[in-house]
Structure 1
């Protein structure tokens, strides 16, 4: 299983595209974290990922998470509100796998990619990553969003 955790860099190279905001998800910037699931051909891994995440909807809500599933160019919100999104633009901006290959990305509230996985991740792993972020720590200390 391949996991790339992009969170935690002590010095950010502003010219590195990994730290540039994802333009196609700009409407969510500073409002929501976005978890994007790219469906595989038989949808088995995408369905497993979907089931993992949607098992605890209150935890998704607490973390201001929007969950999107992209199959081909079609974007379907699985949790949270998201309108008028272009699946092809999201795939291009995230430099995601080709159509038919599973991938999942966590985009932080700052609009940058925090996590990229090529296999489903458990909700516990995802929530631990989010909860370790400074912005999330500040939200927990100040719960009156």
Structure 2
């Protein structure tokens, strides 16, 4: 089995696991970023394909720290130039995926991870596989997150 095929298979398995786990699934079948405003923090992963090794590594890291991811009211958006894009496990149509890539100035062959705050603003941009501790530190420094943590100190 080639390394590319292994990556593709792992990406599909991890995507299925994450979709089924919900990762803080929204109450409705939302597939637009605006549906998450004031409720959750989207982490958008932009890549050429869903089998890109950086996507596979990112998904693995999220799965490994799923409790911390969910505890921070995060949802995953996978926006790919070729293949099926998803937001919180829901399919995003190609037009919406392209619109988001344009909005965040991400070229079709680029890899980027963009953290969106509950207010809808971009909070962090990383152009490599993210260190999720860095992402969590950025979120934990947000005033809204401080209030959330104080209200529910029993997190992960």
**What are the superposed Cα offsets for residues 60-83 of structure 1, whole Å, 9 maximum, x if unpaired?**
111010011111163224xx4546
Aligned to 1:113: 122
Consecutive unaligned residues in structure 2, runs of 5 or more: 1-31
Between the aligned partners of 1:83 and 1:51, the Cα distance in structure 2 is 20
Consecutive unaligned residues in structure 1, runs of 5 or more: 1-23
The SS at the match of 1:39 is strand
Aligned to 2:34: 26
Cα deviation, residue 84, structure 1 = 4.7
Between the aligned partners of 1:82 and 1:132, the Cα distance in structure 2 is 29
Cα deviation, residue 47, structure 1 = 1.5
Between the aligned partners of 2:44 and 2:121, the Cα distance in structure 1 is 13
Q: Which has the higher helix share?
A: 2
Question: What is the TM-score with the length of structure 2 in the denominator?
Answer: 0.68
Between the aligned partners of 2:147 and 2:92, the Cα distance in structure 1 is 30
Question: What is the TM-score with the length of structure 1 in the denominator?
Answer: 0.72
Between the aligned partners of 1:49 and 1:114, the Cα distance in structure 2 is 18
The SS at the match of 2:45 is strand
Between the aligned partners of 1:46 and 1:137, the Cα distance in structure 2 is 30
Q: Is the 8 A contact 1:40 1:46 kept in 2?
A: no
Q: Which has the higher contact order (CA 8 A, sep 6+)?
A: 1
Between the aligned partners of 1:81 and 1:45, the Cα distance in structure 2 is 19
1:141 is aligned to 2:150: yes
Which contiguous aligned blocks of 4+ residues in structure 1 show a shift greater than 3 angstroms? 80-85
**What are the superposed Cα offsets for residues 74-112 of structure 1, whole Å, 9 maximum, x if unpaired?**
3224xx45465621111112222x112111100000000
Aligned to 2:99: 89
**What are the superposed Cα offsets for residues 103-141 of structure 1, whole Å, 9 maximum, x if unpaired?**
110000000000011111112111111111111001011
